[in-house]
A = this chain, B = another copy of it.
């Protein structure tokens, strides 16, 4: 095997296209220079198109978790009632943050691998009219569950509460109409569908959310949205922005907008469909049903006889392919195949072909080519030959 020929198929960080690498290699300029302000203005305009919003989108130097913390420390004051909707590791993280900063958190756990039940949300909102913030995850990376943010937004909009959505691993891969769907705060990160290395986070804020933020009493500094807002007029960021990453972002946003946002979503849907068909063609079990399966990452239950992490080691060693493992309670039981960002049909083929061979080496007899063929069928849109 060629040591350097690698295939990264994890739900972040994801591969970076050459065009973005090239942009990131430009000479550094001052982050307070007129030239960089021009870049920030241009990039923000494009980001707003991806966020499908007229709200301002802030660019931050942090991981996606930094964006979640930004949402919480600006929205949640000690004693505020928060409804946290969780179905996995990242839902839990959002809730943990709210609790840490003094929120009185109603933790609604739908279970790992399940989506949000809107009836439960409605019941909680009706029973607790003083809920100030609802926290939800668009794409639960730990399980490959995709929540119906449109319906959730419609529901929460009828209450005083603001809706903050962790869209770190979904935005740019899965449709999220921030304004039309009434999502007050949308958090995202660079290293998923945005096709950039980790290091940047993005957050949009609605007027309804600003009204709460202006009354917020939780101290914050690096993550302060009020400070950040003061600098919008000059297209400055409060602190030193990762300049090279912003150059890369500029190029990545061009790629997304040139392809067309709807085409990008359709590509992700196609890759998800093909991946799921291939997995089923191998006789393996998907973790979640089609109904709320993620378009960006697919979680697969390892066969009883195979430890998922051993399988992943074989995949890496023999074929240079990296899948993600299960986290926390799912460790060893599932593996996750990403199809997000700089991903296309052949990445799905690589995933399935290498998986078929690796399963054999781990003692599970999969028919070679069976998964690949199902994926091909999805791609050609035809019948079995």
Contacts and interface: CB of A to CB of B under 8 A. Distances in A.
Interface of A: 6, 8, 10, 12-16, 21, 24-25, 27-31, 33, 61-66, 69, 96-97, 100-102, 189, 191, 197-199, 219-223, 239-245, 322, 324
A243 B200 CA distance: 12
A27 B15 contact: yes
A69 B222 contact: yes
Nearest to A199: B242
A286 B13 CA distance: 47
A242 B198 contact: yes
18 contacts: A8-B29, A10-B30, A14-B28, A16-B27, A16-B28, A24-B25, A31-B198, A33-B322, A61-B61, A61-B66, A63-B222, A63-B239, A65-B239, A97-B221, A102-B219, A191-B243, A199-B244, A242-B245
| Copies in the assembly, this chain | 2
A38 to B, nearest CB: 14
A13 B61 contact: no
Nearest to A66: B222
A100 B219 contact: yes
B199 A12 contact: no
B219 A101 contact: yes
A95 to B, nearest CB: 12
A96 B13 CA distance: 35
Nearest to A242: B199
A8 B242 CA distance: 16
A13 B69 contact: no
Nearest to A96: B221
